[in-house]
């Protein structure tokens, strides 16, 4: 694994697994319609942490309803379904009410993607604070390592989340911007 801090790129030279394939297939469609950033636990898993997950969390930029319908149509054509509702207007309403929605492959419930709009300043800043993870079969946009650590440690705070943060800290300790983590910690404390 190589991390170029200046280019904000992590190259993962490993065989992809089923969860990676799911992530690549889904994000390839989403990226045609809007910006996205993968957040939370899958980042630690992608970077080598050995643990299971049922979902991959993702922020997407808010879309007008007609653009969301186009995204929904393409997801459906590619055999993804929404676990929350069947009709695109109903799904859109969930998002507009700040409720996440989940998509999985047809006839499956897990793994699934949990999509949500970025709702506040700290969430929206993620779209300019991300890393490209390059796998042998595609790319994924993930939150910056510092943002990942800060949210895991100071916002979510569960045992699993702390362990996710520690994993990334140990992997990239000499390449992390500790000042940035502290600034994010202060912003999180203000929420």
Task: Please report the domains of the chain, with CATH numbers, ordered by start residue.
Answer: 2-190 (3.30.460.40)
Backbone angles phi, psi at 109, to 5 degrees: -115, -30
The total of other beta-carbon atoms located within 10 Å of residue 118's CB is: 18
132: left (phi over 0), alpha (psi -120 to 50) or beta: beta
Residue 124: pLDDT band (50, 70, 90) is confident
Kindly list the distances between the CA atom of residue 85 and the CA atoms of 57, 61, 152, in Å, as whole numbers in the listed order: 18, 20, 29
Rounded to an integer, the average pLDDT of 128-148 is 97
Query: What percentage of the chain carries pLDDT values higher than 70?
Result: 100
Predicted TM-score (pTM) of this structure: 0.94
Q: What is the pLDDT of residues 84-116, one digit of tens each?
A: 999 999 999 999 999 999 999 999 999 999 999
Q: SS3 of 25, please? A: helix
pLDDT for residue 34: 97
Nearest Cα neighbor of 147 from 112, 86, 188, 117 is 188
Contact (Cβ atoms closer than 8 angstroms) between residue 116 and residue 100: yes
Closest by Cα among 43, 34, 64 to 132: 43
pLDDT of 118 reads 86
Instruction: Using the predicted structure, report yes or no on whether residue 120 has a pLDDT greater than 90.
Output: no
Task: Note the pLDDT of residue 81.
Answer: 98
Cα–Cα distance measured from residue 115 to residue 59, given in angstroms and rounded to the nearest whole number: 6
Residue 98 has a pLDDT of 94
Mean pLDDT of 35-40: 97
102 bridge partner residues:
114
């Amino acid at each position: 694994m190589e991390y170029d801090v200046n280019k904000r790129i992590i190259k993962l030279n490993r065989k992809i697994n089923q969860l990676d394939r799911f992530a690549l297939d889904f994000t390839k469609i989403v990226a045609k319609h809007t910006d996205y950033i993968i957040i939370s636990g899958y980042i630690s898993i992608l970077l080598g942490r050995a643990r299971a997950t049922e979902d991959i969390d993702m922020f997407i930029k808010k879309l007008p309803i007609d653009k969301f319908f186009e995204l929904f149509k393409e997801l459906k054509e590619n055999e993804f379904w929404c676990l929350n509702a069947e009709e695109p207007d109903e799904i859109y309403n969930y998002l507009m009410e700040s409720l996440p929605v989940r998509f999985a492959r047809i006839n499956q419930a897990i793994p699934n993607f949990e999509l949500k709009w970025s709702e506040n300043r700290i969430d929206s800043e993620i779209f300019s604070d991300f890393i490209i993870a390059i796998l042998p079969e595609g790319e994924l946009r993930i939150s910056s390592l510092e943002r990942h650590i800060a949210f895991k440690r100071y916002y979510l705070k569960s045992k699993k989340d702390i362990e996710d943060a520690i994993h990334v800290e140990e992997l990239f300790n000499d390449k992390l911007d500790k000042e940035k983590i502290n600034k994010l910690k202060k912003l999180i404390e203000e929420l």
